[in-house]
Structure 1
Amino acid sequence: MENTEKRGNMISLLNLPESTLDCILKRLTPIELIKMSEVCTCLRDVCRSDHLWENYIKQKWGRIIGDAAYKEWQCHITTIKSEETLLNQHINQNGSLGSFCGAWPVLSLGSYLEDCKHLQSFLSNNSMMALYLSLESGKFWFPAQVYRGTLVRDALFSYDSKNDTFKARQRSGGWQLMGHGISWENLRASPVETPPCVRHVSDCLEDLKPGDHIEIQWKLRSETHYDWWYAVIGHLDSCNKNENYCLCCNSETLVVEFRQYPHGASMRQAKLPRHNNGEQGGNQIGFYGGIRKLHSEEEIEKWKVLLPYDRRYM
């Protein structure tokens, strides 16, 4: 009788205020939340809600999943929600789904979702949970950037949960594996929305002055994609480098110094017009694109760690 009374006085989890239940669920791990969703229909809907899974994505993936990746995911959701006849036009025979941007010969694959047919009903109502699980399983190849020595390169990445690393692939005469075993530290979300096949429109050229840290687009051939290279704005040869008398910031010429190279190296310095938004360079020296100024000390320190020559050849 006493046990019956105790059970009768127990408060069901579903009887808790919504805010209290939400606080409890936020403390669960993704695996625990999935198990909780299997208890009953009511908890299934609550545990699969987007706002809970958005938190998990931000906590684990926030540094490398940027706006471009979210937009690509939304593109897949829109396609999957389309009429079945339209969907079948986008899905390949192996059940994969991908999106493209740009024009031939610099056609870029924006993202890639493997075996998406079984996700059609699941994606419709629980897109953030589906995104998290697709990332964890490695089925969603998402756009991001990887540090590769002296440059940053755009690519598609797939997570290898077994080794807690990533695989990457890029287009080079067809989609090829670019590498595997890539660590979290070497990945970042793209800081701009510009595809790698397009010249970035700079918004900082008027303000650039000697000592500013930048990243600049560069490619070896006109038909290839841009990479991002780290550089520092330098002084003109005619400048006495006295801060009180320096007029370099008023010059129409920008001196771009790649300090990872020693003095005298052909790639050490480039002189570019400040107000020309067109592509600069040629077949012998490569092609320079847009510039983005680095405002974050974290970004600058990352490059200094990767490029020790920056400290040696000042």
Structure 2
Amino acid sequence: MAALGEHITAMVRSHAAGDDAAFYSVALQVAAREARSGHHTIAENIKKSVDSSRQVTPRSNITKLAQPRGDLAELVETTHPAVTLREFVAPPSLTGQIKHIIAEQRQRQRLLEHGFAPAHRLLLEGPPGTGKTMTASVLASELALPMFTVRLDSLLSKYMGETAAKLRIVFEAVAQRRGVYLFDEFDSLGGDRSGNDVGEARRILNSFLVFLEGVSPESIVIAATNHRSILDRALFRRFDAVLAYQLPDARQASAVIRARLGSLGTGLSLAKLGDHTNGLSHADLVKAAESAAKGALMRGQSAVRREDLITALTARQQANIG
């Protein structure tokens, strides 16, 4: 019931703000929740209502608060994810951490009333394609919040000399607008540097950490990095939790492939694929499954063959080596 309460709260907020896109996104999340619970009629009615409502001319005099404007619009990308924790394949220890963060956020008012802040400053570290961005999407979806993505590497290169001022704009939004804020490529600030930009990067990092210290627990701020080894160890204590990501093992790889293939994987044996999935990230596995599925569909078949999947997985391995 807690999750449903979060969705209803988000719908009320988006309705009051006139943010139709956010309202419909949350409504579809509720429909998906009902479908998973076996309430297919309710789910279908919600979807039909959303589809019919979208045909109505939108109200032009309403400000869509979830869509950034002005300088902020140039700094962040806004999405309304609809991916749930059930769809996330990861070791139990990692999913346990994510569940705990969600639980603290859902009971943040109770925690705050007793002088405790919910975990809201997170550092995600691990190889590319292992689920860091998906984790941010899961948190946004489970808590019925918009997600704002800031790519620090491009921010640093595009606004060199004024990056700290741009960061201030983003953190002002964090204080004003509840959401999940993902700062991607965090190592572009926190890594070891050489050259003329080292002083600028250090100043920007210090500004980021000052802003992070004062961030509101109403929002979740996430820093994601592919390179933990180059981060200053002192940075880690600035976060409420550090989540570590790894390449999937054979069992997790099979689960990722099975989930992506859906009905096209019916009857497909995924046993003893370890040699073909070794070294591949979650993103690589999804791409390989999609390649095999599209090949089957274009042949007019309704199921993926094992040899097609192996070919796709091998191609991804070779691409990574190249």
- Largest Rg, 1 or 2: 1
Q: TM-score range by the shorter chain?
A: under 0.3
In proportion to residue count, which structure has more strand?
1
In proportion to residue count, which structure has more helix?
2
**Greater RCO, CA 8 A, separation 6+:** 2
- Using the size of structure 2 for normalisation, the TM-score is 0.25
